[in-house]
Structure 1
C-alpha cells in the first residue's frame, strides 16, 4: 500500500513539473497603426491618449465649473477586438457621455491572445481633462453699422 501511495505522489509531482514547464505566450491588444512597433503596449497607450486629446470636446459640456476633472475608465477589449464592459466614472454626467462618445470612435483593435487564442483583456485608463470657462462671444461693431 505504501508503494502505491509513493507511486501516486511521484506521478502527481511529475504532472506539476510538466504543467510548470508549459510556456504561456501572451500578446497585448494592438491599436491600429501599432502592428510594426517594437513596444506595442507603449504605442497602444500613446495612440489612446492621442485619440482622446484630438477627439475630446470640453466646449460641448455645459454647467460645469472650470478646472481639471478626473475621469476613470475601465473597459475590456473582447475577442473580436471591440470595446466591451465599459465603466466610466466622472464628476459630471456630460463628461461621462463625452468620454463614451470618444471611446466609440476608436477603431477596432487586434485582440490580445493567450497561447495564440484570442482573449478578452481588461484595460483601465485614468484621464485628466481641463475644463475652461467659456468666454462670451463679443460682437465687434464695424464703422459702417
Structure 2
C-alpha cells in the first residue's frame, strides 16, 4: 500500500511539474488575467463578432455555413491558418480572413522556450 501511495505521489508530482513548465499563448490584454485561457477564449469570441464579415452570393444574399478552422500561434506569436473545412467556399474564405486578422500574441512556452500551439475551432455562421 505504501508503494502505491509513493508511486501515485510521484505521478501526480510529475504531472504538476510538466504543467508548470507549459504556458498558453497570451492574447493582448490578457497578460494580467487570473486565467489566461478563459481570457483568450473571451477575446477570440469578441474578435469573431467584430471581424467576421458574412459573404454574399451572386444574388446578393448572405451565405451561411459551418466551418472548422485549424490555426496555430507560432513561436513568434503570429497566427497562421493551417486548415479550413466547410461546405461553403465563400464562408471558408471569410473565416480565413477573420482568423488572419487576429493580433500577434505572446507565444505559448514549453519548458521556458517559445512553442507553437495549434487550435481547432468549429464555427457556425
Partner SS for 2:65: strand
Matches within 5 A, 1:83-122: 83-84=79-80, 86-122=82-118
| Distance in 2 of aligned mates of 1:103 and 1:67 | 18
Partner SS for 2:92: helix
CA RMSD of aligned residues (A): 2.3
Partner deviation per Cα, 1:8-57 (whole Å, 9 max, x = no partner) = xxxxxxxxx8xx85933110001111111111101101111110111111
| Distance in 2 of aligned mates of 1:21 and 1:52 | 37
Partner deviation per Cα, 1:83-142 (whole Å, 9 max, x = no partner) = 23521112211111111111111110110001110001111111111xxxxxxxxxxxxx
Of 49-58 and 85-94, deviating more is 85-94
Partner deviation per Cα, 1:55-92 (whole Å, 9 max, x = no partner) = 1111x321598786211011111100112352111221
Equivalent of residue 123 in structure 2, options 121, 124, 127: 127
TM-score normalized with structure 2 length? 0.77
1:29 aligns with 25
TM-score normalized with structure 1 length? 0.67
Q: Which runs of 5+ in 1 are unaligned?
A: 1-16, 130-145
Q: Tell me the number of residue pairs that the alignment of Structure 1 and Structure 2 aligns.
A: 110
Give 1 or 2 for the bigger CA radius of gyration. 1
**Could you list the runs of 4 or more consecutive aligned residues of structure 1 that deviate by over 3 angstroms after TM superposition?**
63-68
Equivalent of residue 56 in structure 2, options 52, 61, 66: 61
